[in-house]
């Protein structure tokens, strides 16, 4: 390798292209990504592709089985299940992304500061994290929702706040390791500022477990949304979400058990896709795991 | 330059004054005396070798010399300036002249940055030129240390240890530092490429007018390239003098033992020197021995050694030693030898 000399040099590593090529070679990651993209497209196109108004009631179709008119049947108020599933997807995806975005925005900076600065800052932050983690997440989310006000957005902000300490603890633990790496010492010797060192060296090397955790949290947030909506703290009737649909179908389980499948399977596959995608991303983003 | 600063520059580009660095021990009850009183000066343009066993405080010394560690007591002057007195902005500017290359070439490179991104990082911090010119300079520097331009867009894990150490050298050189502390820079490399890397260091010193502090446990490395050698033991200097003098005519029993431990490529019956085996391990830096701290392993130990701390004396011109019994002729004779002779 050392004896070759060339003068032409590619200006920038074509990371994106390499990333895509790697991704295509990973079947599970590709399927998960396709599934999630499809879900996103369906959500965006919801007003045009859903066969019925998701809140329109038709008493004659109450608990209708699957048919040509109602592909997935209808709920106890005669609302078309397919239409509600499509619109519910919008609410569920929005809810899970909102919660996780808030968890990342709070948890990652807090964790990095605690881990890098150490001392009393770390002690204080760690105590707060511990006290947050000592509550059951959903109970805490309900309490925070009570303070912020009922509704899907407030509910998911609460879930995000409740998830943040998990990420903070994870990032703090990684940061404690990374800050003692020699490349951090080297950057300090070059006169790099603390902000630069955190951004260029600590964050990229501490963030990896977060990527996987984020996908797990997306799945957990999806379920938290379902729980909060079930309890009436999340999405408000008559708007649909997968969790609210599941709660509704659960009440009529003995009459129309098939009504539980569409929202239940939607939650299951979406959560699974998030997790699988997380695994693939972890491998794709880590240069040391790349095959040569 | 003011007169005071000029005097300080005469004193050496690095001046260590009564340096002590203490750490709390793991359980927090004791104090580890990693460096327990050192005084020396490094002159402009020289290669200053520091040798010692593991646990002698040499890595701590290296980190302190480039301000990665703060002295607990005493001072380290950079060209007459105490970096501890500078404000944070001035300090960041100042420390660029004092760089370090670490023992583990892999750990010193961010695994998520390409080689060229690592090499141009110092230039980026300095905000020199635009991205394209920085890249050009980075590649020139990589080629200067013997790497092909293709290596630029690779990641550290795709290079060998020797190549990575060359990257570390190139990266430090982009800053045009005055002093480079080399902490066991070839210890992690294959023996076959150590020579190449050491020659590279020698070439770069001529080309860039560098001052080196070469820290190592391997006396064969340090004796070849150093102008002066300091021998450390348990956080203190045992001997300091011109390289040839220290290697050929050591003054301290510890130095003599270190030199005799170097393998000689001769069958045992042809070797002139007897090998001196030091017994036991280096004592704990939490509670070093009283008096002379080498006395517990010294083959020439006397009752006085447990009572008085040996003075740091100039026994030959420019050749200092911390031993009660060393004379200009050399170190004291072994007790065993003395016994068998009588």
In a domain, B198, yes or no: yes
pLDDT at B9 over 60: no
Question: Are residues B119 and B238 located together in one domain of the fold?
Answer: no
Question: Are residues B227 and B248 located together in one domain of the fold?
Answer: yes
Closest Cα in chain B, distance from residue A122 (Å): 18
Three-class SS of chain B:
CCHHHHHHHHHCCEEEEEEEEEEECCCCCCEEEEEEEEEEEECCCCEEEEECCCCCCHHHHHHHHCCCCCCCEEEEEECCECHHHCCHHHHHHHHHHEEEECCCCCCCCCCCCCHHHHHCHHHHHHCCCCHHHHHHHHHHHHHHCCCCHHHHHCCHHHCCHHHHHHHHHHHHHCCCCCEEEEECCCCCCCHHHHHHHHHHHHHHHHHHCCEEEEEECCHHHHHHHCCEEEEEECCEEEEEEEHHHHHHCCCCHHHHHHHHCCCCCCCHHHCCCCCCCCCCCCCCCCCCCCCCCCCCCCCCCCHHHHCCCCCCEEEECCEEECCCCCECCECCCCHHHHHHHC
Position A59 scores a pLDDT of 79
* Interface of chain A toward chain B, CB-CB under 8 angstroms: 1-7, 9-11, 13, 181-183, 185-193, 196, 200-201, 204-205, 287-288, 290, 292
Question: Are residues B312 and B254 located together in one domain of the fold?
Answer: yes
Give the pLDDT mean for B2-29. 72
Q: In 3-state terms, what secondary structure has residue A264? A: helix
d(C-alpha A75, C-alpha A66), whole Å: 11
pLDDT at B6 over 50: no
Give the pLDDT mean for B296-316. 89
Position B263 scores a pLDDT of 67
Candidate from B108, B139, B151 with C-beta closest to A186: B108
**Which of A262-266, B3-7, B54-58 is predicted least confidently?**
B3-7
Q: In 3-state terms, what secondary structure has residue A187? A: helix
Beta-carbon contacts of residue A214 (< 8 Å; ≥ 6 apart): A100, A104, A167, A278
Looking at beta carbons, which residues of chain B come within 8 Å of A204? 110, 112
Phi, psi of A9 (to 5 degrees): -135, 130
Position A3 scores a pLDDT of 43
Position B178 scores a pLDDT of 92
Strand B236-242 vs strand B319-321: parallel, antiparallel, or unpaired?
Answer: antiparallel
B interface test, pick of A17, A119, A183 with most B CB neighbours within 10 Å: A183
In a domain, B167, yes or no: yes
Candidate from B96, B147, B159 with C-beta closest to A190: B96
pLDDT at B8 over 50: no
CA B256 to chain CA centroid, Å, is 19
Position A172 scores a pLDDT of 94
Query: How many Cβ atoms are within 10 Å of A291's Cβ, its own excluded?
Result: 6
Question: Are residues B11 and B134 located together in one domain of the fold?
Answer: no
Contact (CB<8Å) A189/B107: no
In a domain, B294, yes or no: yes
d(C-alpha B202, C-alpha B221), whole Å: 12
Higher local confidence (pLDDT), B99 or A289: B99
> Model confidence over B20-41: pLDDT tens digits?
999 888 777 888 889 988 999 9
Residue contacts between A and B (CB atoms, under 8 Å): 98
Question: Are residues B209 and B151 located together in one domain of the fold?
Answer: no
Query: How many Cβ atoms are within 10 Å of B325's Cβ, its own excluded?
Result: 18
Looking at beta carbons, which residues of chain A come within 8 Å of B118? 183
Question: Are residues B214 and B277 located together in one domain of the fold?
Answer: yes
- Asked if the C-beta of B162 comes within 8 angstroms of chain A's C-beta atoms, the answer is no
pLDDT at B142 over 90: yes
Position A22 scores a pLDDT of 67
Candidate from A5, A11, A190 with C-beta closest to B175: A190
In a domain, B331, yes or no: yes
pLDDT at B152 over 80: yes
Cis peptide before B273 (omega within 30 of 0): no
Position B1 scores a pLDDT of 38
pLDDT at B264 over 90: no
Over chain A (292 residues), what is each successive 10-residue block's mean pLDDT?
42 62 78 90 87 81 77 82 90 91 95 91 92 85 85 89 92 92 92 90 88 84 84 83 86 86 90 85 67 42
In a domain, B102, yes or no: no
Strand B211-216 vs strand B47-51: parallel, antiparallel, or unpaired?
Answer: parallel
In a domain, B217, yes or no: yes
pLDDT at B201 over 80: yes
Q: CA of A42: how far to CAs of A1, A38, A51, A70, in Å?
A: 50, 6, 13, 18
Nearest to B153 by CA among B101, B118, B104: B118
In a domain, B90, yes or no: yes
Greatest CA separation for chain A: 81
Question: In this structure, what DSSP letter does residue A5 have?
Answer: -
Question: Are residues B188 and B208 located together in one domain of the fold?
Answer: yes
**Domain final residue pick, B132, B155, B176:** B176
Looking at beta carbons, which residues of chain A come within 8 Å of B107? 181-183
Question: In this structure, what DSSP letter does residue A129 have?
Answer: H
Position B15 scores a pLDDT of 92
d(C-alpha A222, C-alpha A225), whole Å: 5
Question: In this structure, what DSSP letter does residue A239 have?
Answer: S
Looking at beta carbons, which residues of chain B come within 8 Å of A7? 149
Residue of B nearest to A6 (CA): B149
Closest Cα in chain B, distance from residue A193 (Å): 8
**Domain final residue pick, B124, B142, B176:** B176
Give the pLDDT mean for B301-312. 89
Question: Are residues B91 and B128 located together in one domain of the fold?
Answer: no
Question: Are residues B189 and B141 located together in one domain of the fold?
Answer: no
Instruction: For residue B274, name the pLDDT band (cuts at 50, 70, 90).
Output: low
CA A11 to chain CA centroid, Å, is 35
d(C-alpha A271, C-alpha A219), whole Å: 4
Share of chain B above pLDDT 70, in %: 90
Contact (CB<8Å) B110/A205: yes
CATH of the domain at B313: 3.40.50.300
B interface test, pick of A5, A13, A178, A189 with most B CB neighbours within 10 Å: A189
Looking at beta carbons, which residues of chain B come within 8 Å of A10? 153
d(C-alpha B264, C-alpha B137), whole Å: 43
- Asked if the C-beta of B175 comes within 8 angstroms of chain A's C-beta atoms, the answer is yes
Interface subset of B 126-145, CB within 8 angstroms of A: 126, 132, 135, 139, 143
Question: Are residues B311 and B331 located together in one domain of the fold?
Answer: yes
For chain B, the C-alpha Rg in angstroms (whole number) is: 22
Candidate from B100, B109, B148 with C-beta closest to A5: B148
Question: In this structure, what DSSP letter does residue A8 have?
Answer: -
Higher local confidence (pLDDT), B130 or A10: B130
Q: Is B190 exposed, middle or buried (0-12, 13-18, 19+ CB in 10 A)?
A: exposed
Q: Which two tokens stand for residue A74?
A: 């209808």
**ipTM of the complex in this document:** 0.84
Position A286 scores a pLDDT of 67
Q: How many residues does chain A have?
A: 292
Domain extent, residue B168, equals: 107-176
Give the pLDDT mean for B140-146. 91
Higher local confidence (pLDDT), A17 or B267: A17
Candidate from A6, A181, A192 with C-beta closest to B125: A192
B67 Ramachandran zone, left/alpha/beta (phi>0; psi -120 to 50): left
Position A19 scores a pLDDT of 65
d(C-alpha A200, C-alpha A184), whole Å: 10
pLDDT at B5 over 50: no
Looking at beta carbons, which residues of chain B come within 8 Å of A18? none
Position B50 scores a pLDDT of 93
Instruction: For residue B267, name the pLDDT band (cuts at 50, 70, 90).
Output: low
Contact (CB<8Å) A191/B155: no
Cβ atoms of B117 and B135 within 8 Å: the answer is: no
In a domain, B278, yes or no: yes
Q: Which pTM does this prediction carry?
A: 0.77
- Rounded to the nearest 10°, the torsion over CA B85, B87, B88, B90 is -100
Closest Cα in chain B, distance from residue A134 (Å): 28
Number of domains chain B contains:
2
**Domain final residue pick, B122, B151, B176:** B176
Instruction: For residue B340, name the pLDDT band (cuts at 50, 70, 90).
Output: very low
Q: Rounded mean pLDDT of chain B?
A: 85
Angle between the N-to-C axes of helices A261-285 and A208-230, in degrees from 0 to 180, rounded to the nearest 10: 170
Position B101 scores a pLDDT of 93
Contact (CB<8Å) B125/A10: no
Question: Are residues B91 and B234 located together in one domain of the fold?
Answer: yes
pLDDT at B294 over 80: yes
Closest Cα in chain A, distance from residue B158 (Å): 9
pLDDT at B56 over 90: no
Question: Are residues B82 and B115 located together in one domain of the fold?
Answer: no
């Amino acid at each position: 390798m050392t004896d070759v000399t060339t003068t032409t040099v590619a200006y920038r590593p074509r990371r994106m292209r390499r990333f895509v090529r790697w991704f295509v070679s990973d079947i599970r990651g590709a399927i998960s990504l396709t599934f999630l993209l499809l879900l996103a497209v369906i959500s965006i196109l919801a007003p045009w592709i859903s066969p019925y108004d998701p809140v329109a009631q038709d008493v004659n179709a109450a608990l209708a089985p699957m048919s040509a008119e109602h592909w997935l049947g209808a709920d106890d108020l005669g609302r078309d299940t397919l239409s509600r599933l499509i619109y519910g997807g919008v609410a569920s995806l929005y809810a899970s992304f909102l919660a996780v975005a808030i968890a990342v925005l709070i948890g990652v900076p807090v964790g990095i500061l605690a881990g890098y600065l150490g001392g009393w800052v770390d002690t204080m932050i760690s105590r707060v994290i511990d006290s947050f983690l000592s509550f059951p997440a959903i109970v805490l989310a309900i309490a925070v929702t009570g303070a912020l006000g009922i509704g899907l957005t407030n509910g998911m902000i609460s879930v995000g706040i409740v998830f943040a300490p998990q990420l903070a603890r994870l990032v703090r633990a990684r940061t404690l390791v990374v800050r003692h790496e020699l490349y951090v010492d080297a950057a300090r010797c070059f006169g790099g500022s603390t902000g630069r060192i955190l951004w260029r060296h600590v964050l990229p090397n501490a963030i990896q477990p977060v990527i996987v955790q984020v996908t797990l949290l997306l799945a957990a947030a999806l379920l938290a949304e379902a729980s909060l909506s079930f309890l009436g703290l999340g999405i408000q009737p008559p708007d649909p979400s997968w969790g609210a649909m599941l709660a509704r179908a659960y009440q009529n389980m003995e009459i129309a058990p098939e009504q539980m499948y569409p929202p239940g399977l939607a939650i299951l596959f979406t959560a699974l896709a998030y997790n699988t995608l997380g695994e693939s991303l972890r491998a794709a983003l880590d240069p040391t795991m790349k095959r040569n | 330059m003011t007169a005071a600063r000029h005097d300080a520059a005469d004193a050496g580009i690095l001046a260590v004054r009564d340096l002590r660095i203490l750490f709390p021990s793991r359980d927090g009850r004791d104090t580890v005396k990693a460096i327990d009183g050192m005084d020396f000066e490094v002159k402009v343009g020289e290669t200053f070798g520091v040798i010692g066993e593991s646990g002698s405080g040499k890595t701590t010394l290296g980190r302190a010399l480039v301000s990665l560690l703060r002295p607990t007591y005493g001072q380290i002057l950079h060209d007459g300036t105490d970096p501890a007195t500078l404000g944070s902005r001035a300090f960041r500017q100042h420390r660029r002249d004092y760089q370090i290359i670490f023992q583990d070439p892999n750990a010193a490179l961010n695994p998520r940055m390409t080689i060229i991104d690592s090499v141009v990082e110092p230039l980026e911090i300095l905000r020199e030129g635009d991205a394209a010119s920085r890249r050009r300079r980075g590649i020139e520097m990589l080629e200067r240390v013997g790497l092909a331009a293709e290596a630029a867009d690779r990641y550290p894990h795709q290079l060998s240890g020797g190549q990575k150490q060359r990257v570390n050298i190139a990266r430090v050189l982009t800053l045009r530092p005055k002093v480079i502390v080399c902490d066991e820079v070839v210890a992690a490399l294959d023996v076959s490429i150590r020579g190449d890397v050491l020659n590279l260091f020698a070439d770069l010193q001529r080309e860039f007018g560098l001052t080196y502090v070469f820290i190592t446990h391997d006396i064969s490395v340090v004796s070849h390239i150093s102008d002066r050698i300091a021998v450390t033991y348990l956080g203190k200097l045992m001997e300091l003098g011109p390289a040839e003098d220290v290697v050929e005519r050591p003054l301290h029993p510890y130095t003599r033992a270190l030199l005799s431990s170097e393998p000689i490529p001769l069958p045992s019956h042809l070797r002139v020197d007897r090998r001196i085996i030091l017994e036991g391990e280096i004592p704990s830096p939490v509670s070093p021995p009283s008096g002379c701290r080498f006395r517990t392993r010294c083959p020439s130990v006397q009752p006085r050694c447990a009572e008085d701390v040996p003075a740091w004396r100039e026994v030959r011109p420019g050749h200092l030693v911390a031993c009660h019994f060393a004379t200009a002729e050399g170190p004291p004779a072994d007790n065993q030898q003395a016994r068998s002779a009588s």
